[in-house]
Amino acid sequence: MSMRTCPVTGLKVCPDAEALVRWHAVTAVVHFLIGVSAAILLVLTRWQAVHLLPSDWYYRILTAHGLNMLIFFIIFFEMAVLHFAGPILLNCRQPAAKLGWLAYVLMLIGACTTNGFVFAGKADVLFTSYVPLKAHPAYYLGIILFAVGALLDTSLFFAALVKAKKEKTYTGSVPLVTYGALTAAIIAVITLIHGAMVYVPTFLWSLGLMQMDPEVYRMVWWALGHSSQQINVAAHVACWYLLAGLTVGGVVLNEKVSRGAFFLYVLFISMASAHHLLVDPGVGPAWKVWNTSYAMYLAVLASMVHGFTVPAGIETGQRLRGFNQGRFQWLTKAPWGDPGFAALWVSLVIFGFGGGITGVVIGTEQINIIAHNTLRIPGHFHMTVVGGTALCFMGVTYYLLPLIFRRRVAFYKLAQIQPYVFGAGISLMGIAMTYAGSFGVPRRHWDISFTQAPFGVQFPTTVDLFMAAMAMGGLLAFLGGISYCLIAVVSVFFRPALSDDDLKRGGPGLPPGVVRLPSQTHTAEASEAAHRQGNPGTVVLVGVFFVCFILYYFTNWKILSLLWKVG
């Protein structure tokens, strides 16, 4: 089959790559649907006014939620992003498409196997499966198959880079989006190697063929578990840049800075395991301090840099489009009704102010004493990987639907508010969890009223308030999440395919960036003028961010200092 030319972007699209993007993305959404259905059950159980599930099912569904969301949904989607950022953005043919399908099938078989055993009650170990908790061997085998598939997909992305370079399908250096995806792919390889290092021995152990040390397991498991969060960050930052370009013609202020920041993510990746071992007996303080800070916070520096360059790129893009008055016209006149832009911006804010700040704070060696395994932890990561990554991927979906699936976005009005509903819900839930956690409310806990416990615990009534707020936020996020599934599934399976003419003609269900793509390049004079103007709006935003960061950081040290002396 010949390659088609995209009427919107002018890119040459290989049908094989396109099909791989489609199937990986659709399968991601299916897993999201499982995850979000589990989420509502969890919310209604933790909110003890309802206390829906019995205890065994709470832990079972919690296992399913963690796996389907954090592993299956996110990684299937990331593989779609790789097939997009490789062959499609670089105008080249998909190399070894058959292997791509093999990868897909392996991932699917793996995910189905693991899910089957979880729902059958043969693996109530939560997605971290800390040994010596033991699941059925097939549970581990499923994850191994899934990881092998993902590794294969990732190597095809590298193959596409090589092929495109050899065939000269583009000039200059790969686009920043592809570069970001490349860093995500490199991190994925490192992560998956750690995955093999932990799951293969654990699989053998579950068959009784090997010994496992619980602390070593935790260290290597989190070298997988936390590094994979770095894949998420690199992938969604790449998608922020992608959405900024598609929705408002957001520019890259400085390629050197943005690429350098991506590169920092790669350098310090395997260290993140420490975040989960800060109050563990297996490792010493020097190791903890050095690793938890990714060698003196250089990966945090990278995120802070993107936290400037992404909004500033949007600001400059908007100013170049003529929204140039005052400090903030670029924001007031931003396309808030474009679901791609809405998702980008809300995700940026939640990730920065919510997930980012809380993450650095609770990842501080000593402050972790007042955070470890409390609800502060899920509070934090629902504002990184959910409010940040998942929401950003939702925004990408609204552009993939017309550009790759060649479908109108179904229920477009719903799609326009979906990012706000989901973002508001996750923020409320995340903040409420964070507060409840600071009273010591544990995560992964079926009954914080402790009715059957030998020694009762009575949390203050404010905790009930926060748990109710968590439930409200969770319900809202659930509505947003279900809407997303509905829109994606109906668009893909129940809407007619669009022709090139349909796309150009516009009409309902097409985001503005698809109907009229903002210009992606600018003249030297316009650039010069924009350059001289700088980013007065973004400067204010990062200033506010910085003040919040400092306040939250030192407040936590203050609270810590009031505790018992421990050492």
Partner 1 sequence: MSEEKFHSALVPAQGVWWRPVGAQEKRWIQISFVWCMLMFAMMPLWHWKGGQNPSGIRGRVVPKDYRQRTERFIQDYKVGEEKGIPVVAPPAGADIYVEASMWMWRPILHLKQGTTYVLHLSSFDINHGFSLYPMNINFQVVPGYDYGLKVTPNQAGDMRIICNEFCGVGHHIMTGKILVEK
126 Cβ neighbours under 8 A, 6+ residues apart: 59, 62, 63, 66, 133, 444
Question: In the window 193-222, what residues touch partner 1 (CB under 8 A)?
Answer: 213-215, 218
Residue 12 pairs with which residues in a beta bridge? Answer: 5
Q: What is the 3-state secondary structure (H, E, C) of 106-144?
A: HHHHHHHHHHHHHHCCCCCCCCCCCCCCCCCHHHHHHHH
Give which of ligand HEM, partner 1, none residue 385 binds (C-beta under 5 to 8 Å, depending on kind).
ligand HEM
Binding mask 101-140 for ligand HEM (x = CB under 6 A): -------------------------xx-------------
Tokens standing for residue 184: 């995500």
70 forms part of the interface with ligand HEM (CB under 6 A): yes
Q: How far is the CB of 494 from partner 1 (least distance, A)?
A: 30
Taking CB under 6 A as the rule, does residue 378 contact ligand HEM?
Answer: yes
How does strand 4-5 pair with strand 12-13?
antiparallel
Q: Which of 43, 156, 253, 261 binds ligand HEM (CB under 6 A)?
A: 43
355 binding ligand HEM? (CB under 6 A)? no
564 binds partner 1 per the rule CB under 8 A = yes
Partner whose footprint covers residue 66, from partner 1, ligand HEM, none (CB < 5 to 8 Å by kind): ligand HEM
55 touches partner 1 by CB under 8 A: yes
User: Is there binding between residue 31 and ligand HEM (CB under 6 A)?
Assistant: no
Answer for the pair 87, 160: CB distance below 8 angstroms, yes or no.
yes
- Residues of this chain, 417-436, that bind ligand HEM according to CB under 6 A: 429
Q: Under the criterion CB under 8 A, does residue 493 sit at the interface with partner 1?
A: no
Q: CA-to-CA distance for 443 and 102, rounded, in angstroms?
A: 38
Q: If contact means CB under 5 to 8 A according to the sort of partner, which of ligand HEM, partner 1, none does residue 348 touch? A: none
Q: Which of 37-45, 193-201, 289-297, 334-342 is the region at the interface with ligand HEM (rule: CB under 6 A)? A: 37-45
Q: Which is nearer to partner 1, 254 or 325 (CB)?
A: 254
Instruction: State yes or no: residue 380 binds ligand HEM (CB under 6 A).
Output: no
- Kindly tell me the burial class for residue 458, based on how many C-beta atoms sit within 10 Å of its own C-beta (0-12, 13-18, 19 or more): exposed
Can you give the three-state secondary structure of 478-494, one letter per residue? HHHHHHHHHHHHHHHHH
Token readout for 343 is 């998702």
| Using rule CB under 6 A, residue 80 touches ligand HEM | no
| Alpha-carbon span 140 to 131, nearest angstrom | 12
The mark string for 62-91 relative to partner 1 (x by CB under 8 A, - otherwise) is: ---------------------------x--
| Residues 331-370: x where in contact with partner 1 by CB under 8 A, - otherwise, as a string | -----------------------------x---xxx-xxx
Shortest-Cβ-distance residue relative to ligand HEM: 69
The 431-470 contact track toward partner 1, x by CB under 8 A, reads -------xxx-xxxxxxx-x-xxxxxx-------------
Q: Which stretch binds partner 1 (CB under 8 A): 31-39, 130-138, 221-229, 483-491?
A: 130-138
- Burial of residue 193, with CB atoms counted within 10 A of its CB: 0-12 exposed, 13-18 middle, 19 or more buried: middle
Binding partner of 477, given partner 1, ligand HEM, none, CB within 5-8 angstroms per partner class: ligand HEM
CA gap 542, 558 in Å, rounded? 24
Contact status: 62 vs ligand HEM (CB under 6 A): yes
Determine the residue type at 105: V
User: How far apart are the C-alpha atoms of 62 and 444, rounded to whole Å?
Assistant: 8
Query: Which of 390, 394, 424, 487 is in the footprint of ligand HEM by CB under 6 A?
Result: 390
CA atoms within 13 A on the CB side of 450: 9
Pull the structure tokens for residue 540.
């204010």
With CB under 5 to 8 Å by kind, the binding choice for 9 among ligand HEM, partner 1, none is: partner 1
What are the angstrom distances between the C-alpha of 318 and each of 65, 253, 315, 392, 520? Answer: 39, 13, 5, 20, 12
Type of residue numbered 125: V
124 binds, among ligand HEM, partner 1, none (CB under 5 to 8 A by kind): partner 1
Distance in angstroms (rounded) separating the CA atoms of residues 24 and 28: 6
Does 175 contact partner 1 by CB under 8 A? yes
Task: Give which of partner 1, ligand HEM, none residue 167 binds (C-beta under 5 to 8 Å, depending on kind).
Answer: none
Should residue 444 be labelled a site residue for ligand HEM when binding is judged by CB under 6 A?
yes
CB atoms within 10 A of CB 364: 19
Among 51, 122, 321, 443, binds ligand HEM (CB under 6 A): 443
What's 442's DSSP letter?
B
Site string for ligand HEM, 178-217 (x = CB under 6 A): ----------------------------------------
Which residue matches tokens 């501080």?
Answer: 364
Residues, the chain: 567
Among the listed residues 196, 289, 486, 489, the single contact to partner 1 using CB under 8 A? 289
Q: Out of 300, 349, 479, 489, which residue is the one contacting partner 1 (CB under 8 A)?
A: 300
551 exposure class (CB count in 10 Å sphere: 0-12, 13-18, 19+): exposed
User: Cβ of residue 479: shortest distance to partner 1, in angstroms?
Assistant: 28
Contact pick of 34, 188, 346, 477 for ligand HEM (by CB under 6 A)? 477
Q: Kindly give the residue spans of alpha helices, DSSP state H, lying in 226-364.
A: 227-248, 255-267, 285-292, 294-320, 329-332, 339-349, 357-362
State the virtual CA torsion across 320, 325, 328, 329 in degrees, nearest 10. Answer: -70
Strand pairing partners for 4?
13
305 binds, among partner 1, ligand HEM, none (CB under 5 to 8 A by kind): partner 1
Backbone angles phi, psi at 268, to 5 degrees: -110, 20
In the complex, the residues that contact ligand HEM under the rule CB under 6 A are: 35-36, 39, 42-43, 46, 62, 65-66, 69-70, 74, 126-127, 378, 382, 385-386, 390, 429, 443-444, 474, 477-478, 481
